Structure 1
Amino acid sequence: MRTGQEDREGQLLAALRCLLADEISEGQLLRKLRREVLGLSQQEYASLVGVSRRTLSDMEGDRGNVSLAVMNRVYRPLGLRVGLLPRQTALLHEVLEAERPSQHDA
């Protein structure tokens, strides 16, 4: 039986896969995780991370221009941090494949 933590991690991984496949935007990811993983309103989440509801709304709508520090503060409760990824999908897949243990390691 899966624990609540495992369920949340599964939801997080599924949402990240959608983001990396360009199926959703960063703002849509943030909204989805805030609602579905944490079950918080915009106001509750904004208070938790110390930003205005308007800033959070702008981020979820892929609007506005916030600093890297604010982005990291907003994503931290979700277990995420802002980082650099290749823009080209093929390079991204290469990076992700390189991180997986080989079948020989199993």
Structure 2
Amino acid sequence: MKPRLRSPDDRQAALLEQLRLLMRGETTEGRVLRTLRREVLGLTQTAYAELAGVSRRTLSDIERDAGNASMASLDRVFRPLGLRVGLLPRQPELLAELVEGNSL
């Protein structure tokens, strides 16, 4: 599968857009991973699972938001995208304050 987005600016824009959707609660971690794997990296599940160091089944489960992946597995699958698993506030107001930088 060839990547649809080729330039570094396009890849970064796609990454940021997916993260915005996630932070607004409009998508899930699994959908973000699937979209970025396919559209930004242009990799199959098998190739990406090998790159991330997880089984294809684990990757598939995470992309479908199924199962109960460990934090270590989640961190491994997001690492090739330059992301790490972390903590964010559940309350939209606190999240907005955090993102805007007004909480410091």
TM-score of the pair, normalised by structure 2 = 0.88
* Per-residue Cα deviation, 1:58-82 (whole angstroms, up to 9, x for no partner): 0000011122111111100111000
Q: How many residues end up aligned between the 2 structures? A: 97
Query: Which SS does the other structure have where 1:63 is aligned?
Result: coil
For 1:36, which of 9, 34, 39 is the aligned residue? 39
Q: Tell me what 1:69 maps to.
A: 72
For 2:83, which of 80, 83, 86 is the aligned residue? 80
Deviation at 1:4, TM superposition (A): 1.6
Unaligned 5+ residue runs, structure 1?
100-106
Deviation at 1:40, TM superposition (A): 0.4
Determine if the alignment matches structure 1 residue 96 to structure 2 residue 94.
no
- What RMSD in Å do the two structures reach over aligned CA positions? 1.3
Distance 2:31 2:16 in 1: 14
* Per-residue Cα deviation, 1:5-41 (whole angstroms, up to 9, x for no partner): 1211111001111111111111000100000000001
TM-score of the pair, normalised by structure 1 = 0.87
- Higher-Rg member (1/2): 1
Distance 1:58 1:38 in 2: 19
Higher RCO (CA 8 Å, separation ≥ 6 residues):
2
Structure 1 residue ranges (4+ consecutive) displaced by more than 4 angstroms after TM superposition: none
